[in-house]
Structure 1
Amino acid sequence: MSNRKKWCFQIPLQPEFKMKTAYYIEKREFDQKRNKSYLYYQFKCHSISSSMIVIPDGSIDILFTCIPQTPYGKICGSVLRSKEIQLTPGAEYFGVRFPLGRESLKWNCSMKDIVECEMPIKDILSLDDPAHQLAILPSFEGRIQRFQETIGTLFLNEDRYSPIVMNALYNIHLSKGNITMNDLAQRLGFSTRYVRKQLEQDIGISPKLFSQIARFQCSLSMLMNDNNYSIWDIIEESGYYDQAHLINEYKKFSYYSPRKLMDTITKGKALVM
Structure 2
Amino acid sequence: MLSIIQSFKNFDYFPFQPEFETLTDYYIEYKQRNSDYSTTLFYQFKINQDLMDPMSVIPDGCIDILFYCDPVRPAANVCGTVLKYKKINFQANCEYFGVRFLPKQETQHFKYSMKEVIDCQIPLADMITIEPTIMERLINEQGFRGRIKLFKEEIGNNIFACNDLPAIIDYSLNKIYSTKGNVNMNQLAVETGYSTRYLRKQFDAHVGMPPKLFSQIVRFQNSLHMILNKQFLTVWDVINENGFYDQSHLINEFKKFGYLTPNKFMHTVSKKLSDQTN
CA distance in 1, matches of 2:131, 2:107: 22
Which one of the candidate residues 203, 208, 213 is aligned to 1:199? 203
Q: Does 1:88 align with 2:91?
A: yes
1:140-172 alpha-carbon deviations (Å, 9 max, x no partner): 111111111112123223243322111100001
1:127: Cα distance to partner?
Answer: 4.6
Deviates more, 1:92-101 or 1:54-63: 92-101
Please name the residue that 2:236 is paired with.
232
State how 1:33-44 maps to structure 2 within 5 Å.
Answer: 34-44=36-46
**Scaled by the length of structure 1, what TM-score is found?**
0.92
Which amino acid in 2 is paired with 1:108?
Answer: K
Please name the residue that 1:186 is paired with.
190
- The verdict on how the C-alpha distance between 1:85 and 1:62 changes in structure 2, with shifts beyond 3 A counting, is same
**Scaled by the length of structure 2, what TM-score is found?**
0.91
Tell me the SS of whatever aligns to 1:58.
coil
Please name the residue that 1:48 is paired with.
50
CA distance in 2, matches of 1:161, 1:75: 20
CA distance in 2, matches of 1:9, 1:76: 23
State how 1:12-51 maps to structure 2 within 5 Å.
Answer: 12-32=15-35, 34-49=36-51, 51=54
State how 1:105-144 maps to structure 2 within 5 Å.
Answer: 105-127=108-130, 129=132, 130-144=134-148
List alignment gaps of at least 5 residues for structure 1: none
Which one of the candidate residues 262, 265, 271 is aligned to 1:267? 271
Please name the residue that 1:212 is paired with.
216
Which amino acid in 1 is paired with 2:46?
Answer: K
1:240: Cα distance to partner?
Answer: 0.4
CA contact (8 A) 1:3 1:163 kept: no
1:65: Cα distance to partner?
Answer: 0.9
CA contact (8 A) 1:65 1:131 kept: no
Tell me the SS of whatever aligns to 2:56.
strand
CA contact (8 A) 1:104 1:160 kept: no
CA contact (8 A) 1:72 1:132 kept: no
Tell me the SS of whatever aligns to 1:200.
helix
* RMSD of equivalent CA atoms: 2.1
Which one of the candidate residues 79, 96, 101 is aligned to 1:76? 79
Please name the residue that 2:66 is paired with.
63
CA distance in 1, matches of 2:6, 2:121: 32
